[in-house]
Amino acid sequence: MRTVEQTTQEVLDLAAKHFQVAQDSLAPDDDFFKKLGINSLQALELLSRLENHFGIELPDYEVQGVSDFRTLASRIQSRL
């Protein structure tokens, strides 16, 4: 079982890879919309990538209003 820290790091790594930014440029408390310059649609794409990676289903409502990596990771963690 992953720790929440590990999950958070994996979320950051995957986001960096998907949107092609330097891995060390993202931090857990960053706002992903702002930091990655993405819109809501691209955020949904990221969610699908994360679901595949973690092997879970994350309903859209679970991430409603979430905009930072840390909260996103905690939502994933609760479904692992």
- Which of 4, 3, 25 lies closest to 13, judged by CA? 25
**Which residue type, as a one-letter code, is found at position 12?**
L
CB 60 to another protein: min, Å: 5
Residues that bind another protein in the complex, under the rule CB under 8 A:
31, 33-34, 39-41, 44-45, 47-48, 57, 59-62, 64-65, 67
| Residue 30 vs residues 15, 50, 69: alpha-carbon distances, Å | 12, 17, 6
CB 37 to another protein: min, Å: 11
CB 20 to another protein: min, Å: 15
Among residues 1 and 41, whose Cβ is nearest to another protein? 41
Q: How far apart are CA 76 and CA 47, in angstroms?
A: 10
